Structure 1
Amino acid sequence: MSWTGKILRVDLTAGTCRAEPLNMEWARDYIGQRGLATKYYVEEVDPKVDPLSAENKIIWATGPLTGTMASTGGRYSVITKGALTGAIACSNSGGYFGAELKMAGWDMIIFEGRAASPVYLSINDGDAELLDASWLWGKSVWETEPAIKARHQDPLIRVSTIGRAGETGCLYAAVVNDLHRAAGRSGVGTVMGSKNLKAIAVRGKVGVGNIRDPRAFMKATVAAKKVLADNAVTGQGLPTYGTQVLMNVINEMGAMPTRNHRDVQFEGAKDISGEAMHEPRKTDGKKNLVTNQACFGCTIACGRISKIDEGHFTVQNKPQYWGASGGLEYEAAWALGSANGVNDLEALTYANFICNEQGMDPISFGATVGAVMELYDMGVLTKEQLGIDAKFGSAEALTHFVEITARGEGFGREIGMGSKRLTAKYGHPDLSMSVKGQEFPAYDSRGIQGMGLAYATSNRGACHLRGYTVASEVLGIPIKTDPLVTDGKAELVKAFQDATAVFDSAGVCVFTTFAWTLSDLQPQLHAACDESYTMESLAVIGERIWNMERDFNNRAGFTHLDDTLPKRLLTEPAQTGPAKGLVNGLDKMLPEYYQVRGWNAEGQLLEATRARLSL
């Protein structure tokens, strides 16, 4: 079995840490990470809990393949009730922290209560203790990680932490590890900050040696790595351009949300694309992109490491930002760029640096700025209120806003509420491009119809990583479907959602699904964990996880009325590109989706569905 069989329960109120055995029946039924931690969470927490109260819990979880030789086996997730949404939140991160936690001998950490003053958790293999973090409070991610390593005199410690955004209550604060890998969405960092929990520092030397069938596991992982290497996306596109390979592709097909979804194509997309990151700058002849980078055990290496032009207005006289660090990925480049009409690549890189440094989701931040710029364009917000001229396309406004939002200062506190609360406060709630309070990622659902249904039904609010039908509708993976039609999309979305739940729970990266199907993952889980993992059982587990999350949200107060899209996407047709004249056809897709899910017309699980999935 590739589980360690052990979880760490930390009572922040009492200041205690204790080990307890993993519930192996649950582990087999929910695999690990997203599925297993959510099972623990929904069994222990009242769905009506205030996300920022001491009664809420927050869980760090690995999967059974985390820390193994499986490609991309470095993932971990943070599970809680989201501060931004009030829905179930599971935010996934790469880097090296997850593998280190597993190698220290832990499958999961469950935090309960609230510390009276700032603390951090120190784990050294089987030893765990809460230590004073008052000396770290107020420090950025970039300051906290090296400070902890220096205090413990161990450069190999891995750190998962919040920055100032998580301390000041920005509702989409992230949890960041390895300086620029993040459990980024839904406000998991806000929940962490509300508990006075600054960081988790882990050093693991135990390793992961409990593979059920090592010979079969090695054979399965070698075969799976070859599939990744031979695939055009995972073997060529992502290593070369990262997720930014999509910028020009999505723009050309008329699905690039631009200026708060007013438009579906951005005239400046080429200036902020993956290709642009490779081109020498006119100012200094150097490239924005320094190199690519891989997370633990990853054979894809889609990560970007970038360096800002030292003469750019954002970093003049700021040498702390002159070094190379985590560069733009597609979602961040879109949210900071196209969503606001900004085509200044260096300004976007700077804003992304600040999001990493202070622990803030660049998607929700950038999309909220898009709403602010539209309100400014309408005259609802003024220069006096904002402290700057905030026209669409202003790199100066974007970078000003990222600084004050990360610090929780001035109008930045309002931007930190997210677009749903901000637009409602100023009388225009329809301008929030969000579902369940979480802002959209980088695909306009008028140009990619299936993504509209995926957004509307996502259990954690608008999200591309819960059912990435772009793979099928745009890239033809595993089959090509027409992005402009609604037929068959209910079945497609369900299939993607269920399969993704399995990959997330296994401890591998969802980007493997550009090349892998469950038939590539199943032999790895079968050899590593339990011989009962068959294709059929994994399909049921994925569906079980999805329905468990849905049931929690229903009990938390969400209804079928929350499975919707902003009025703009349902009533304002796209003006350019292949989707010209189209709105999203959610009204047709949603009833079909409920039917294939085994739910009633109100979006509630039927008793027959509960019984079939053992819920």
Structure 2
Amino acid sequence: MGWNRKLLRVNLTQGTCKEEPLNMEWANEYLGSRGLSAKYLVSEIDPKVDPLSPDNKLIMATGPLTGTMASTGGRYTVSCKGPLTGAIACSNSGGFFGAELKFAGWDMIIFEGKSPKPVYLFIENDKAELRDASHLWGTSCWHTEEQIKADHQDPLIRVSSIGKAGENQVLFAVVINDLHRAAGRSGVGAVMGSKNLKAVAVRGTKGVAGIKDFPAFLKATQDAKKVLADNAVTGQGLPKYGTQVLMNVINEIGALPTRNHRDVQFEDASKISAEAMHEKRPTDGKSHLVTNAACFGCTIACGRISQLDKNHFTVKNSPQYWGASGGLEYEAAWALGAANGVGDLEALQYANMLCNEQGMDPISFGATVGAAMELYEMGVLKKEEIGLDTPFGSAEALAKLAEMTASGEGFGKEIGQGSARMCAKYGHPELSMSVKKQEFPAYDSRGIQGMGLAYATSNRGACHLRGYTVASEVLGIPVKTDPLATEGKAELVKAFQDATAAFDAAGICVFTSFAWTLADVQPQVAAACGEEWTLEKLNEVGERIWNLERQFNNAAGFTAKDDNLPPRLTTEPAKTGPAKGMVNQLDKMLPEYYKVRGWTPDGVPTDETLARLGL
């Protein structure tokens, strides 16, 4: 049936691990992963709970296609109430951990309470137990993974862990698996740290049983893989250049946020682009990129493995960073680079490695540094407070602040609270480029209007993975829309948001949606789970998930006032590029969006909408 039909409930306070049957009625309404974990979370916690208290819960969940031969079927999600935002948090990760959890026979793990001392969960098929992690506490994600494999004398164990950032409650701490794949946004790693849970280690040898119609599944997955291979983005662009392929494209259309969104084009974009990663360095004759890499079952292989220049100032005396490691993705390269005006590719990769090593979200980290640099240039923040000169463009400041934030030292503690809290503390809340306290990713919504609406209405705070209208507005997928127009964007955003929720719930990567529509996903889900999974049902599941998340946020205290953008984007026109003279026109799109969603003018789902979706 695509599901193992059981979950593991771990009470960290009591130190118990108990098996429970999966609620199949809920699985039938929410499918899995993001959808099903949201249903469990909403049913089990008070929406007003303090995210860092033992009463918050942390859920790791797979989807019915996780661990199968469906392309990109390696995804799992980490859900909780997010400490960065106070909203519902659900972070999605690739690599191999999700598939391993499924191979061990589990669909989901629910962590509740707080352990009196540092522990890690060890799962070997049906056997699950909490083990002492005091020897791992205070160490990095990299060390933790290596040590657990050594302790169990098994190199095939898959590990998800937090680094010092999660332990120190950096509000954008992430959960890292397979050394450089991350459940990356909203601070899920800080919640894990607040529970004294250092890691989850899994060894599964059961495989995935219960595919409903195997011959049909084999055909559906083969057909879908061909669609990916034949597509220009998933078959050529992403394998060769990774997500970094977007750097020059987004810069040219005047939508690359630069220097904390003061500008929309970065003069050094080409120096930190995918093309630059392929070029040979004059210093040692090697290119930054070593190879591409794939997560479990992925036929796209957009991941980057790269290597730093050993003579670069950041690593000259640190041989531990000389080996090949997880390379820059587009969002990280932007946040660490253009957002701060830094055009030094090696410095960006160094900061990115620290984010992987100690478990931090490079998007929120980089964007918060950008806000700090602006406060410094305004004279609000002084060198004495930060501990160093921090002007825009300083690779030295970027590298040093990454070290300080990862280790929780000095001004790094302020950076670790995110830009909304930091900017408010220093009297300039308007300089935080965030929605619901979560920092923007790499698209300026003056140049891509639909993304402004997607950011403002995202249930987990500013996010590109909750409604990627860039696909349509820039790349023409599945249809080309004008990035500077506002008409029709409400319908476009809703369609992307609902479809993405369904992709996430299935346990596959959202990057497949560059080539696939839900019509490509449906035959795979139907063959795995049962023929009742029609296209109409998948669409409805996506919409149901979106409205459930919205209900949680409304109950947590969010209102229509929180569906907003910083004044810079709605009052300061873009200075250059195709969007020159334009602001984001959220005020035109938002009322239309509420109407299309079946919500009141105050952004609350109507009784009619709730009844239709069975909420």
Q: Distance in 1 between matches of 2:37 and 2:429?
A: 34
- 3-state SS of 2:202 partner: strand
Q: Residue by residue, what CA displacement relative to the aligned partner does 1:322-360 show, whole Å, maximum 9, x if unpaired?
A: 000000000000000000000000000000000000000
CA contact (8 A) 2:449 2:585 kept: yes
Who is 2:529 aligned against?
529
Counterpart in 2 of 1:376? 376
Q: Distance in 2 between matches of 1:6 and 1:606?
A: 34
CA distance in 1, matches of 2:539, 2:509: 18
Kindly report which structure 2 residues correspond to 1:104-183, keeping only aligned pairs within 5 A, or say none. 104-183=104-183
The aligned counterpart of 2:584 is: 584
Map residues 42-441 of structure 1 onto 2, 5 A cutoff.
42-441=42-441
CA distance in 2: counterparts of 1:159 and 1:197, whole angstroms: 13
Q: Report the secondary structure of 1:123's partner residue.
A: strand
Q: Tell me, in whole angstroms, the C-alpha distance in 2 between the residues paired with 1:374 and 1:34.
A: 36
The C-alpha deviation readout for 1:286-327, integer Å capped at 9, x for no partner, is: 100000000000000000000000000000110000000000
Q: SS at 2:596's partner residue?
A: helix
Cα separation, 2, equivalents of 1:530 and 1:606: 31
Question: CA separation in 2, counterparts of 1:605 and 1:351?
Answer: 42
Distance 1:539 1:331 in 2: 28
- Rounded to whole Å, the distance in 2 between the matches of 1:536 and 1:421 is 42
Tell me the distance in 1 between the aligned counterparts of 2:210 and 2:513.
Answer: 26
Deviates more, 1:338-347 or 1:382-391: 382-391
CA distance in 2, matches of 1:570, 1:383: 31
Matched AA of 1:76: Y
Q: Which residue of 2 aligns with 1:509?
A: 509
Q: CA deviation at 1:569?
A: 0.1
Structure 2: state its 5+ residue gaps. Answer: none
- Distance (Å, rounded) in 2 between the aligned partners of 1:23 and 1:209: 18
The gaps in structure 1 that reach 5 residues or longer are none
Q: Shift in Å at residue 605 of structure 1?
A: 0.8
Q: Secondary structure of 1:292's partner?
A: strand
TM-score by length of 1: 1.00
Mapped partners of 1:381, 1:9: distance in 2: 46
CA shift, 1:169, in A, is 1.1
Structure 1: which amino acid aligns with 2:44?
A: E
Contact kept? 2:4, 2:209, Cα under 8 Å: no
Partner of 1:489: 489
1:195 and 1:257 map into 2 onto residues whose CA distance is: 36
CA contact 2:114–2:195 (8 Å) conserved in 1: yes
Q: Find out whether 1:469 has 2:469 as its counterpart.
A: yes
The SS at the match of 1:246 is helix
Q: Normalising to structure 2: TM-score of the pair? A: 1.00
Count of residue correspondences: 615
Q: What is the letter of the counterpart of residue 34 of structure 2?
A: R
Give the percent of matched residue pairs that are identical in Structure 1 and Structure 2. 76
RMSD of aligned residue pairs (Cα, Å): 0.3
- Rounded to whole Å, the distance in 1 between the matches of 2:474 and 2:221 is 28
CA deviation profile, 1:94-144 (whole Å, cap 9, x unmatched): 000000000000000000000001000000000000000001000101100
Partner Cα distance (1:569, 1:150) in 2:
50
Partner of 2:575: 575
- Aligned AA (2:354): I
What is the SS of the residue equivalent to 2:186?
Answer: coil
- What is the rounded CA distance, in whole Å, between the counterparts of 1:44 and 1:481 in structure 2? 41
Q: What SS class does the counterpart of residue 60 from structure 1 fall into?
A: strand
- The question of 1:595 aligning with 2:595 is answered yes
Return the offset for 1:531.
Answer: 1.2
Structure 2 CA distance for aligned equivalents of residues 595 and 53 of structure 1: 37
Q: Deviations over 1:254-311 (max 9, x none)?
A: 0000000000000000000000000001111110000000000000000000000000
Q: Distance in 1 between matches of 2:257 and 2:25?
A: 44
Give the ranges of 4+ consecutive aligned residues of structure 1 lying more than 2 Å apart after TM superposition.
Answer: none
SS at match of 1:234: helix
Counterpart Cα distance in 2 of 1:614 and 1:177: 35
**What residue in structure 2 maps to residue 538 of structure 1?**
538
Offset of residue 530 of structure 1: 1.8
**Is 2:478 the partner of 1:478?**
yes
